A and B are shown apart, each in its own frame.
Chain A
Amino acid sequence: MSARAEITVTVNGIAYTRAVDPRLLLSDFLRQEIGLTGTHVGCEHGVCGACTILLDGRSARSCLLLAVQLDGAAIETVESLGAMDRLGRVQEAFRAHHALQCGFCTPGFLMTITDMLRHHPLESDAEIREALSGNVCRCTGYEHIVNAVRELARERGPLK
């Protein structure tokens, strides 16, 4: 029963091959199997958004995915966006706008926003707020996060 399966998953451009138990969540695979602890685990039932990653280019809850189902898939995590000494553009905007306090929810927001910037028009504050509504932040009151996204959207310009 529940035999381990060998999978190969590409995470941030690097292929990882591991034997995994079918019940291993992607969030735990990222944190425990390959040591990428930037992805945070909050509620483990798809409500808080802290564990958001990109699966084949679109945002997804990593706590609602099984590692075993992702054989052959491409994952992007918050580690792909930048590092402490060279912040990515979305991270830079968060710092500039004070869009984080404790930082627990931040990786999830950053990945959701990465999806938003790639695929969504973001022409109004209402649209930005709606797109952010699946991520919970208990510190900021969201206002500074919206400010950061507004600036990023303006900088990006209209979607092609």
Chain B
Amino acid sequence: MKPARFDYVRAETVAHAGEILAAAGGDGKVLAGGQSLMPMINFRLVKPTVLVDINHIAGLDTIALDGGRLRLGALVRHRMTAEDGLVKAHVPVLHHAMKHVAHLTVRNRGTFCGSVCHADPAAEMPMMTLLLDGLMHTASSRGTRAVAARDFFVGSLVTALEPHEMVTAIEIDALPPGAGWGFEEFARRHGDYALASVAVVLERQGGHARNVRVATMGVGEMPARMDTVEAALEGSAMDDRALDGAVDLLRAAVAPNSDLNASADYRRHLVGALARRALADAWSRATETAQ
């Protein structure tokens, strides 16, 4: 299909983009990589009155490490995230996850922040943002604000981003020294949206797991942190009994849907199997650190 009519503005600055979005009265859309938005526009599932192209705003295409946090600007493409040295060194779980993101040609254009704003329940970037306690920095004509990942994802393809706002950057945790990580995903074809995926980050102190973080996607309306699993594994020895218990808790915590690719029961089974592997990988990668 062809898109419905809209106006197009090439934004010069973030402030300019904010002005255009404010003037659009809720019917404006931000165009960055366009790899999620343009299909929806072509299908007329989204019919903005004005498209605000942010691709030429200077300074949004950088990845920077600040303290223990990594900041990814709104024009950081998936290819940049995949190839970036800071990401590889400080957030290896994200570096690894990038191998599962779409296809070469889509990675050339699609952006980290755009994927988070699109909030597909089976996309990697929203889950990684949630796993790594992300903070979305937004700007609009009314000012700036920062929204925590736990408050940002509201439903399938729905976020707390207001129509007049744009995300200028996303901040995520770098992994502490010695932290272990695990990432498991299953998709019908490599690069397709996942049937289920699990990501884990933890630390190892005195033979026990600390600061355990577990996130899932593809098994609910939104990516989710597995609070009950995290609490149960905190301080555990990560032995078979602990892992079995964690898998049971995780299967109880998810609410997958059935669709033509997989039934809910299959997804629930699958996500448990993936979680066990991701937890074991994270534990084996973690090195003992002082308390």
Contact = CB atoms under 8 A, between A and B. Distances in A.
Interface of A: 1-3, 5, 21-23, 25, 28, 44-47, 49, 52, 55, 58-61, 63-66, 68-69, 71, 112, 115-116, 120, 130-131, 133-135
B264 to A, nearest CB: 25
A112 to B, nearest CB: 6
A56 to B, nearest CB: 10
A104 B266 CA distance: 37
Contacts of A65: 34, 38
15 contacts: A1-B5, A23-B3, A45-B43, A46-B38, A46-B106, A49-B103, A58-B79, A61-B105, A61-B106, A64-B39, A69-B8, A69-B53, A115-B104, A131-B104, A134-B102
B189 interface: yes
Contacts of B31: 66, 69
Nearest to B51: A22
Contacts of A135: 103, 105
A125 B35 CA distance: 27
Nearest to B104: A131
A19 to B, nearest CB: 13
Contacts of A23: 2-6
A64 B51 CA distance: 14
A16 B55 CA distance: 21
A66 B7 CA distance: 12
Given A2-B5, A23-B5, A134-B102, A46 B35 contact: yes
A134 B103 contact: yes
A134 B4 contact: no
A64 B34 contact: yes
Contacts of B95: none
A130 B190 contact: yes
A45 B34 CA distance: 11
A133 B108 contact: no
B76 to A, nearest CB: 15
B150 interface: no
Given A69-B31, A116-B104, A133-B191, A64 B109 contact: yes
Interface residues of B, number: 31
Nearest to A73: B55
B6 A49 contact: no
Contact of A64 (B38, B103, B190, B191): B38
Nearest to B41: A23
B39 A1 contact: no
Interface in B1-46: 1-8, 10, 31, 34-35, 38-39, 42-43
B39 A134 contact: no
A2 B3 CA distance: 12
B2 A134 contact: no
Contacts of A2: 5-8
A65 B8 CA distance: 13
A78 to B, nearest CB: 14
A5 B245 CA distance: 61
Given A49-B105, A63-B38, 18 more contacts: A1-B5, A1-B49, A2-B5, A2-B6, A46-B35, A47-B39, A58-B79, A59-B105, A60-B105, A64-B109, A66-B38, A69-B8, A69-B10, A69-B55, A131-B104, A134-B102, A134-B103, A135-B105
Contacts of A63: 38, 42
Contacts of A120: 104
A112 B104 contact: yes
B144 to A, nearest CB: 26
A131 B106 CA distance: 11
Contacts of A22: 5-8, 51
A12 B42 CA distance: 26
A63 B109 CA distance: 13
Contacts of B102: 134
Given A3-B7, A65-B34, A44 B105 contact: no
A129 to B, nearest CB: 8
